[in-house]
């Protein structure tokens, strides 16, 4: 079967969406399918440009290319899921959240202006119409399915994305640092970890990795550099190699995943396979589908004070990291995340 995986790409930015698309391609190829990843460029500003991207996606017909029929399309993201094909499956990573759950917050650039508000209404109108046309409608997590039901009235099946090579994640030791991987963005809330380290006594440090080329990332880099306390106890590494990331998972005491209403996020899954507990927040979304408070990690209020208290508990009782980490690994193995289930559902 010839299959096109369709998504969008913000030039020069790579994250979980790209990892998922490549993992799905690899799994489909292992099952003897011919697969291509088709990406559409996307720019979200000014607001009116979003409508142009939406229209561009809708005008694309992937029924055949160069005389070759494409048997199935699997669409992942807004606005790529508007394209036309008679056999489409949706595996939704997320919609344009600035028009939905983030609308009206500081994280939405649509809500402050009349133009942005009109664009948000148009996005919802298109989603109501075109997402309803998918007979196979899946999401990557319960959190995403709940949003789709709440805002668009559409039912869906959640299919958790497994890791391609979970055996690469191992536990070597429990050094005195909290690891926080992921691109620097206000919704990732790395600043809470930095503020918490500043509030705690010596005995635990923080190591952060990820793309820092954003206003938020540069502000945090400057903040750490200006503080003698933070310079000694916070390391911001920027982007690291896969082997370096695996080593950090293997050596840390715990992993911080303080995202705001995350869709799914690989961080929780990777940490659990590495036998490390997760520290997350009560409004973090996707991680809450896996983290069991006081057993496989900690679910705390979204504040640096609460996070500092959690870190202090780890300093006082370092055995907690080992006990919770072991429980975390056992829980993710029992979850039985299956590529066979993902593929069979998307191709049904």
End position of a domain, from candidates 134, 159, 184: 159
What local confidence, expressed as pLDDT, does residue 224 receive?
A: 97
pTM of the model: 0.93
What local confidence, expressed as pLDDT, does residue 336 receive?
A: 84
User: 67, 110, 112, 76: which is closest to 94 by C-alpha?
Assistant: 76
State the virtual CA torsion across 46, 51, 53, 59 in degrees, nearest 10.
-160
CATH number at residue 67: 3.40.50.2000
pLDDT one-digit tens code per residue, 135-165: 999 999 999 999 999 999 999 999 999 998 9
User: 166, 164, 208, 158: which is closest to 188 by C-alpha?
Assistant: 208
Statement to judge: residues 148 and 244 lie in one domain: no
Rounded distance, CA 277 to CA 329, Å?
9
In a domain, 340, yes or no: no
What local confidence, expressed as pLDDT, does residue 34 receive?
A: 97
Can you list the residues of the chain whose pLDDT is less than 70? none
- Full residue range of the structural domain in which residue 104 is found: 2-159
What local confidence, expressed as pLDDT, does residue 155 receive?
A: 98
What local confidence, expressed as pLDDT, does residue 265 receive?
A: 87
Tokens of 241: 């190699």
What local confidence, expressed as pLDDT, does residue 13 receive?
A: 78
Statement to judge: residues 194 and 141 lie in one domain: no
In a domain, 196, yes or no: yes
End position of a domain, from candidates 159, 193, 211: 159
DSSP H helices, the chain, are: 16-30, 47-58, 114-130, 142-152, 190-199, 215-226, 228-233, 242-251, 266-273, 304-316, 319-335, 339-346
What local confidence, expressed as pLDDT, does residue 10 receive?
A: 84
Tokens of 123: 């996005």
In a domain, 245, yes or no: yes
């Amino acid at each position: 079967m010839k299959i096109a995986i369709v998504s969008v790409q913000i030039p020069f930015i790579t994250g979980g969406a790209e990892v998922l698309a490549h993992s799905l391609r690899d799994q489909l190829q292992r099952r003897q399918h011919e697969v291509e990843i088709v990406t559409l460029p996307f720019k979200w500003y000014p607001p009116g440009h979003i409508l142009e991207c939406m229209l561009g996606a809708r005008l694309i017909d992937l029924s055949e290319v160069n005389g070759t029929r494409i048997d199935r399309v699997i669409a992942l993201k807004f606005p790529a899921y508007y394209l036309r094909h008679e056999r489409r499956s949706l595996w939704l990573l997320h919609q344009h959240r600035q028009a939905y759950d983030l609308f009206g917050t500081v994280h939405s650039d649509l809500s402050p202006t009349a133009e942005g508000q009109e664009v948000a209404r148009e996005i919802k109108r298109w989603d109501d119409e075109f997402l309803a046309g998918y007979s196979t409608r899946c999401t990557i997590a319960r959190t995403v399915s709940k949003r789709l039901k709440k805002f668009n009235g559409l039912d869906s099946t959640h299919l958790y994305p497994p890791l391609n090579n979970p055996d690469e994640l191992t536990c070597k030791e429990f050094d005195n640092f909290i690891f926080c991987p992921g691109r620097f963005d206000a919704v990732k809330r790395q600043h809470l970890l930095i503020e918490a380290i500043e509030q705690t006594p010596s005995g635990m440090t923080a190591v952060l990795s990820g793309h820092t080329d954003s206003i938020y990332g540069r502000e945090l880099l400057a903040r750490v550099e200006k503080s003698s306390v933070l310079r000694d106890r916070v390391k911001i590494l920027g982007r690291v190699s896969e082997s370096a990331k695996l080593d950090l998972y293997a050596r840390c005491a715990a992993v911080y995943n303080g995202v705001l209403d995350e869709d799914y996020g690989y961080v929780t899954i990777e940490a659990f396979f590495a036998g490390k507990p997760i520290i997350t927040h009560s409004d973090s979304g996707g991680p809450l589908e896996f983290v069991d408070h006081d057993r496989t990690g900690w679910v705390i209020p979204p504040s640096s004070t609460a996070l500092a208290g959690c870190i202090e508990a780890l300093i006082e009782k370092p055995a907690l990291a080992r006990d919770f980490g072991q429980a975390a690994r056992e829980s993710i193995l029992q979850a039985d995340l299956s590529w066979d289930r993902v593929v069979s559902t998307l191709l049904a």
